[in-house]
Each structure stands twice: as structure tokens, then as C-alpha cells.
């Protein structure tokens, strides 16, 4: 038994008409541009880490179509419970490079006030929920938000993202099970990028696919070509429509590939063959979509250059701006633990401020020595 | 005012807050039609419906995880963990998620969940129905740890917890769920979190306790007065986090002698933290060493629980130690 893999754009850019979504040219261009933004942010992020400007980076190259196609299929008011490999979901919803980089640098302007490692974004107004490092914890949380939306009788739905590794966690089971029982308006979205750091999919599950697991929880699951932005869009759109109409949860598995290391601290040469990476490089999601846009008569050499140049210029400008920003004040360390600071913590804050007056503790702003 | 058991006060507190605010929802194992295994949620599903009093699948991490999502969305969820001994599957959701959401998001995503859970020994529950696991959570910045010892405080503190903006672990002393009765005002009122109560005023020894141990401490204080003429003050902390340090220090500076009662295992327990605070900040006032009366560093035993748990005799011995130093 094998699970069918839905595809819209064949590798040469031609189309399986039956599944092709009807999207405006403007939307198609935005999809492409956002995928380019993700790729460019990745290049910049790794460079900033390698040059010691930021402490860490989580690349998501190879998964541009998976991220962007999924978020594009939602309404702007829908909730996202993402992973640290979903910057494209924030960029699609309008996060600026300055906001993304302020977070990578952990500077005072960072929405999270420098409290988390890079790539753990949070954007309240975009309903892009604060990201955790522990794997799959967001899954039951997303189900809870969906249950709340159902109780409040809004038309909002929830999408939670996860990797293939995340599907091995207990919270995956809890979340899927709760959602099935309560018919929660949620889309479970797995970007199966084949590797959880050094463990391949075969070391993660003996299941024929990940999407087939949905059946045991009482709702449908499909597998799509995750490097095909339109296939992702169509499958997530269908799942989102179903949730919004009161049909309950769905599962979408996007087959993709983590082209880079797990993080800037990881070296994939230790555990996976270069030939496999090369094989997937041939399936590059941006190349695929470019072929489609060419066939549609939308893409031109000039537009390609304009898009990349524009994105890179934005990114360089944002980098320059963010590099000039300072770190959060040391005393801000004590903010936001509680809604208001209790006396015991206030004493600790006062004692640190008192110590700072001696001038022994220097501000480390921006310095991450290699 | 009605005379209620601590359990009835919890039930009344939940009902009152649910009537007051439709964002308040309860969820947990067997809390709906069954009204909870201790009946703390009895009648709530009938009044508020299955969408607000939710029987969940048997998965503690799922209960706390979904509660967090509800809170992020804007509800005020009050999940129940049936016995505190079963809270560990949800440890990651509580420690890594619930307690850190506000902080890690720079204040963008507060998640005010109130976790209710019966805790403690004295009910012949063996080690999976008797633990007092407060120390694990007191060690985690971002979650309040509140433990009432009277029906009045149970309802009032629960109301404060539900109306508050911070996550709360609300530990209910199940040993005294039904044995302790007291007057409870009808309708709405709150008892502030972070304020200790003097359960019995005294002058010579401070006995610090919380939850069901407060009552053992009171018995011991009574006996100390009757049998030895020693005047003990019993300080009921009511919330361990935030700690009412001012009340603690005021009492020990007055008496100069302190006995701390804690039914959890000794090593790494909250009594140790209190001892350190007193030693750091009130050593000049102390007439005797700080003495702890605690559970032992063993798993909680079944048959021998009477020998494991702090009792009046052990507290009296500790009082002797500090008085005769």
C-alpha cells in the first residue's frame, strides 16, 4: 500500500489541470516573491551567523513552497501555531525584514525583547503564535485555540505546523486525538522534510506515510508534493474550507526536503549522503514555480532580477538598520515574567540594578564571538 | 453565610466565576457528567453545558496543552488534573510552555490558565495518589503556586486565580476536602494571592505551613500551649509563589524560633527555600536553628503513610528543639 502524492506543477512546469487553483496573477507573484524572501533571509541569516553577528540560525531552505503555500491558503484572521522553520508564514502575513532580523539579533526592538534564540518569532497581530524549541508542544495548544474558536462561534480556524520528527511526540497524539473527538476547526500541517536533525524518516516511523495516521483519529489526511506551492495551497485550502464549514480537522503532509543543516550548529555531512541532497536540489521549489510562471507567461528575466534585487536591497537595508539597534536594557530581563512584578522578584531586580552601578557587568550587545 | 466543606467551596467558587464570566471554561478527566472523581465540578456541566465543562480524553499533556491554546485565544480555562501525581505527562506543557509564554513572546502572548489539582497524602492513596509536588513548580518562574487550607480561602483564592492574568497552579488539599468545614460568603469575593494568613497568633515559635499541614500545625500549636505553655504562631502561607516574604520575616523576627512543616520529601523541598530566606534575612533575630518537619526522602508509602507524614508529635518535638536550644 502506498499513499498517493498530490501534485499540480510537474517538474517541467506543466500543470495537472484538475487540481490547479484559480489564483490571480497578483497572488501568484506574491507567492513567488515571498518564497524568494524566505530564500534570501536564509542566505543572510546563515551569513550573519557565520560572521559572528548573530548567535544561531535555523535555515528553512528547500521548504519555501511548503511554508508559503500553506499560509496563503488561509484567511488573514486564521491562527498559526508554527515551528521555527516557518519564517515564510510571517513574511506572507507582512512581517518586515527589519522585524525578522531584530529578532535574530535579539535587540531591544525585537517583538520578543531578546528573550529567545533566533527563528523563534512571535507576532500577536498576525496571530502567529510564539514559537517553542521543545518539539510538537504547539499541537495541542493549536487544538485548544480551535476549540475556543468553535465555542466562540467565530469563523476563524487554526493551522498548526510540525515536522516529521514532531509526529513522534506524545503531544502529536494528544493534539490529533483531542481534535478528532471535538471536531475542532484545525488543519494539522506536517512539513515532512525527511530529516529530524540526523534521524531520517525511516527512523521516525514505520508508517507508510504520515498522513495515513489521520485515519486513526477519525479525520482525513492527504499527502502532497511539498515543493509544489500550488499543490500545497490546494490541499491546505480544502482542509481549511472543511474546518470553516464545521467539518472538523484534516491532516496535510507536505513532502519536502531540508536542504540545509538543522541549524547553524549542525553538519549534515556527518549523517546524510551528498547525492541525496543533489537529488532534491533538482526538485527545488522555487525553480519549479518559476517554470510554472514561465508557462503562464507571467515570468520574465527582468521581473526575476527585479524581484531578487528588490528583496536583497530590502534585506541589506534592514540588516544595516538592525545592526545599529541596541540590546534590551539589562533590567528588562525581569519584565513579562508576570503581569506585574511581585515583591520577591522586584528585590532581585533592585539588587542587580544596584550591582550594575559598579560597572562590572558590560553590555554584550551584538557580540557573539566565533 | 453558609457552612461549606473545602470541596463545596471549590465547587461554589467555580460556579460563581463561571456565572460571572463566560470566558471561564473547565476541562479535565471525568469532570462533566460525573462531576469529577471528588465531585469538585458536580452540577457544573448541567448548568453550563458540555462546551464549557468539558470531559476530555485521558491525556494530561493534552488537557494542559489545549487549555493553553484556549487561554491564548482569550478564554479563561480551568483545567483539572485528577490527582497531582498524574501531572507529570503535562510537565513540559506547564514548565516549558504555560509558564514561559508571556515572557518568551515579550508580553505578546499571555496564557492565564488556572490548573486545579488535588494533592497530598493522608487518604491511603499510595505514592500515585498522595504526592505534594509543589517544589517542582515553585522552581519555575512564571507560574503562581497557590494552596488554600480553609473553605473561605479556597473559594476566594480560586476567584483571584481565575480573574488574574497569570498562570496558576491551584493545589487543593484533598485530605481535608470534606473534613474541614467553614463559613463561606455567598456570591462573589476574592482573597488576594501573595498574602499569608496568621492562622493562630503566638509569640514564642513560628510554625510555617500550607494546605492540609496548616491544620496539623494548628493541632500541634494547641497542644504546645496546653501541655508546655509554649505560644506558637501558625503562619499559613496560602501562596508559595508569590511568597509573602514580609509576613514570614515579620513573624520569625517576632518569635525568633521557627519550625517549617512540609509534607513533601525533604531534599529540595520548599521548606528548604524558606529556611534559606530566613537564614539570609533574619539570622540576627534567630534564637535557635531553623527546624524542618517534612516527609522523608522516600517515595510516598502506602501502608506506612502515617509514619511518613508530618504529625503533631513530630511538630511538638521540633518545637521542643527550638524552644530548648
pLDDT tens for chain A, 370 residues long, are 578 999 999 988 899 888 899 999 999 999 999 999 999 999 999 999 999 999 999 999 999 999 999 999 999 999 999 999 999 999 999 999 999 999 999 999 999 999 999 999 999 999 999 999 999 999 999 999 999 999 999 999 999 999 999 999 999 999 999 999 999 999 999 999 999 999 999 999 999 999 999 999 999 999 999 999 999 999 999 999 999 999 999 999 999 999 999 999 999 999 999 999 999 999 999 999 999 999 999 999 999 999 999 999 999 999 999 999 988 988 899 999 999 999 999 999 999 988 888 777 765 544 444 3
Q: How confident is the model at residue B196 (pLDDT cuts 50, 70, 90)?
A: very high
Minimum Cα–Cα distance from B79: chain A residue: A144
B73 and A144 in contact (C-beta within 8 Å)? yes
Contact A112 B69 (CB under 8 A): no
A104 φ, ψ (degrees, to nearest 5): -60, -35
Measured on CA atoms in the order A158, A163, A164, A169, is the torsion positive or negative?
negative
Span B40-71, pLDDT tens digits: 999 999 999 999 999 999 999 999 999 999 99
**What residue segments make up the domains of chain B, in order of their start?**
2-184, 197-323
d(CA B67, CA B80): 10
Question: Is A144 an 8 Å CB contact of chain B?
Answer: yes
d(CA A151, CA A181): 15
The dotted CATH code for B197-323 is 3.40.50.920
Contact A129 B73 (CB under 8 A): no
B107: helix, strand or coil:
coil
Question: Is B163 an 8 Å CB contact of chain A?
Answer: no
Question: Is A120 an 8 Å CB contact of chain B?
Answer: yes
For residue B189, give how far its alpha carbon lies from the nearest alpha carbon of chain A (Å). Answer: 21
d(CA B258, CA B205): 6
B179: helix, strand or coil:
coil
Question: Which of A134, A182, A337 lies nearest to residue B141, judging by beta carbons?
Answer: A337
A163 and A193 in contact (C-beta within 8 Å)? yes
Per CB-CB distance under 8 Å, the chain A contacts of B93 are 137, 140-141, 171
Per CB-CB distance under 8 Å, the chain B contacts of A144 are 65-73, 77
Question: Is A130 an 8 Å CB contact of chain B?
Answer: yes
What residues of A are labeled active site? 258, 262, 271
d(CA B320, CA A300): 91
**A209: DSSP letter:** -
pLDDT over 70 for what percent of chain B? 100
Q: What is the pLDDT of residue A164?
A: 98
B274 φ, ψ (degrees, to nearest 5): -65, -40
Same CATH fold, B197-323 and B2-184? yes
B210 and B176 in contact (C-beta within 8 Å)? no
| Helix axes A64-72 and A25-50, enclosed angle (nearest 10) | 140
Q: Give the residue-averaged pLDDT of B149-158.
A: 98
Q: What is the pLDDT of residue A367?
A: 45
Q: What is the pLDDT of residue B72?
A: 98
B89 and B124 in contact (C-beta within 8 Å)? no
Q: Which domains does chain A have, with CATH numbers?
A: 5-323 (3.40.50.970), 330-370 (no CATH)
Q: What is the pLDDT of residue A2?
A: 74
The complex scores an ipTM of 0.96
Minimum Cα–Cα distance from B165: chain A residue: A339
Q: Give the residue-averaged pLDDT of B223-248.
A: 98
Of B296, B310, B243, B239, residue with least CA distance to B273: B243
Architecture of domain B2-184: 3-Layer(aba) Sandwich (3.40)
Contact A343 B89 (CB under 8 A): no
User: Would you say residue B282 has pLDDT above 60?
Assistant: yes
Contact B62 A111 (CB under 8 A): no
Q: Which residues contact B68 (CB under 8 A, 6 or more apart)?
A: A140, A141, A144, B93, B97, B98, B101, B111, B113
Quickly list DSSP for B192-256: -TT--EEEE--SSEEEEE-TTHHHHHHHHHHHIIIII---EEEEE-SEEETT-HHHHHHHHHHHS
A232: helix, strand or coil:
helix
Q: What is the pLDDT of residue A1?
A: 52
Rounded to a whole number of angstroms, the distance between the first and last alpha carbons of chain B is 45
d(CA A284, CA A286): 6
Amino acid at each position: 500500500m502506498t499513499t498517493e502524492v498530490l501534485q499540480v506543477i510537474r517538474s517541467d512546469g506543466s500543470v495537472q489541470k484538475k487540481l490547479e487553483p484559480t489564483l490571480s496573477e497578483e497572488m501568484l507573484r506574491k507567492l513567488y516573491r515571498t518564497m524568494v524572501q524566505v530564500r534570501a533571509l536564509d542566505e543572510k541569516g546563515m551569513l550573519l551567523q557565520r560572521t559572528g553577528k548573530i548567535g544561531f540560525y535555523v535555515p528553512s531552505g528547500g521548504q519555501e513552497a511548503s511554508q508559503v503555500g500553506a499560509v496563503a491558503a488561509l484567511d488573514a484572521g486564521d491562527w498559526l501555531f508554527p515551528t521555527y522553520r516557518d519564517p515564510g508564514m510571517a513574511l506572507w502575513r507582512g512581517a518586515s525584514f527589519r522585524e525578522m532580523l531584530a529578532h535574530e539579533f535579539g535587540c531591544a526592538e525585537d517583538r520578543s525583547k531578546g528573550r529567545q534564540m533566533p527563528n523563534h518569532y512571535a507576532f500577536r497581530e498576525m496571530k502567529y503564535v510564539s514559537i517553542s524549541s521543545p518539539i510538537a508542544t504547539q499541537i495541542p495548544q493549536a487544538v485548544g485555540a480551535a476549540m475556543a474558536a468553535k465555542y466562540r462561534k467565530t469563523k476563524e480556524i487554526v493551522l498548526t505546523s510540525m515536522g516529521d520528527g514532531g509526529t513522534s511526540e506524545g503531544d502529536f497524539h494528544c493534539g490529533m486525538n483531542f481534535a478528532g473527538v471535538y471536531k475542532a476547526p484545525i488543519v494539522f500541517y506536517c512539513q515532512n522534510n525527511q530529516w529530524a536533525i540526523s534521524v531520517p524518516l525511516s527512523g521516525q516511523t514505520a508508517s507508510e506515510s504520515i498522513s495515513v495516521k489521520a485515519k486513526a483519529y477519525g479525520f482525513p489526511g492527504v499527502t502532497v508534493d511539498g515543493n509544489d506551492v500550488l499543490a500545497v495551497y490546494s490541499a491546505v485550502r480544502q482542509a481549511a474550507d472543511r474546518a470553516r464549514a464545521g467539518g472538523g480537522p484534516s491532516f496535510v503532509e507536505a513532502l519536502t526536503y531540508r536542504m540545509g543543516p538543522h541549524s547553524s550548529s549542525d553538519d549534515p555531512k556527518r549523517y546524510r549522503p551528498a547525492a541525496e541532497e543533489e537529488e532534491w536540489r533538482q526538485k527545488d521549489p522555487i525553480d519549479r514555480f518559476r517554470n510554472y510562471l514561465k508557462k503562464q507567461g507571467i515570468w520574465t528575466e527582468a521581473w526575476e532580477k527585479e524581484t531578487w534585487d528588490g528583496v536583497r536591497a530590502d534585506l541589506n537595508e534592514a540588516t544595516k538598520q538592525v545592526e545599529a539597534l541596541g540590546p534590551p536594557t539589562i533590567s528588562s530581563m525581569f519584565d513579562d515574567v508576570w503581569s506585574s512584578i511581585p515583591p520577591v522578584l522586584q528585590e532581585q531586580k533592585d539588587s542587580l540594578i544596584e550591582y550594575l552601578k559598579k560597572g562590572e557587568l558590560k553590555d554584550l550587545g551584538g557580540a557573539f564571538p566565533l | 453565610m453558609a457552612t461549606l466543606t473545602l470541596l463545596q467551596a471549590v465547587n461554589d467558587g467555580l460556579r460563581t466565576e463561571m456565572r460571572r464570566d463566560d470566558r471561564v471554561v473547565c476541562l479535565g478527566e471525568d469532570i462533566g457528567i460525573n462531576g469529577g472523581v471528588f465531585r469538585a465540578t458536580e452540577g457544573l456541566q448541567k448548568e453550563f453545558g458540555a462546551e464549557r465543562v468539558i470531559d476530555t480524553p485521558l491525556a494530561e499533556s493534552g488537557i494542559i496543552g489545549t487549555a493553553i491554546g484556549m487561554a491564548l485565544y482569550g478564554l479563561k480555562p480551568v483545567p483539572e488534573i485528577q490527582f497531582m501525581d498524574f501531572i507529570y505527562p503535562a510537565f513540559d506543557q506547564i514548565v516549558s510552555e504555560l509558564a514561559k509564554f508571556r515572557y518568551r513572546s515579550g508580553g505578546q502572548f499571555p496564557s492565564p490558565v488556572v490548573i486545579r489539582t488535588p494533592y497530598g497524602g493522608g487518604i491511603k492513596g499510595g505514592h500515585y495518589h498522595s504526592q505534594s509536588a509543589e517544589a517542582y513548580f515553585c522552581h519555575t518562574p512564571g507560574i503562581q503556586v497557590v494552596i488554600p487550607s480553609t473553605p473561605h480561602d479556597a473559594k476566594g483564592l480560586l476567584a483571584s486565580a481565575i480573574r488574574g492574568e497569570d498562570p496558576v497552579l491551584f493545589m487543593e488539599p484533598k485530605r481535608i476536602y470534606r473534613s474541614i468545614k467553614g463559613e463561606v460568603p455567598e456570591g462573589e469575593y476574592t482573597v488576594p494571592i501573595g498574602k499569608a494568613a496568621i492562622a493562630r497568633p503566638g509569640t514564642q515559635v513560628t510554625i510555617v505551613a500550607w494546605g492540609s499541614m496548616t491544620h496539623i500545625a494548628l493541632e500541634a500549636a494547641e497542644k504546645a500551649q496546653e501541655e508546655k505553655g509554649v505560644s506558637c504562631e501558625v503562619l499559613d502561607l496560602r501562596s508559595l509563589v508569590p511568597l509573602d516574604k514580609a509576613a514570614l520575616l515579620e513573624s520569625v523576627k517576632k518569635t525568633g524560633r521557627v519550625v517549617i512543616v512540609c509534607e513533601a520529601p525533604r531534599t529540595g523541598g520548599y521548606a528548604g527555600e524558606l529556611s534559606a530566606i530566613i537564614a539570609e534575612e533574619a539570622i540576627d533575630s534567630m534564637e535557635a536553628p531553623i527546624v524542618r518537619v517534612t516527609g522523608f526522602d522516600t517515595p510516598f508509602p502506602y501502608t506506612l503513610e502515617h509514619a511518613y507524614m508530618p504529625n503533631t508529635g513530630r511538630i511538638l518535638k521540633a518545637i521542643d528543639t527550638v524552644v530548648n536550644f
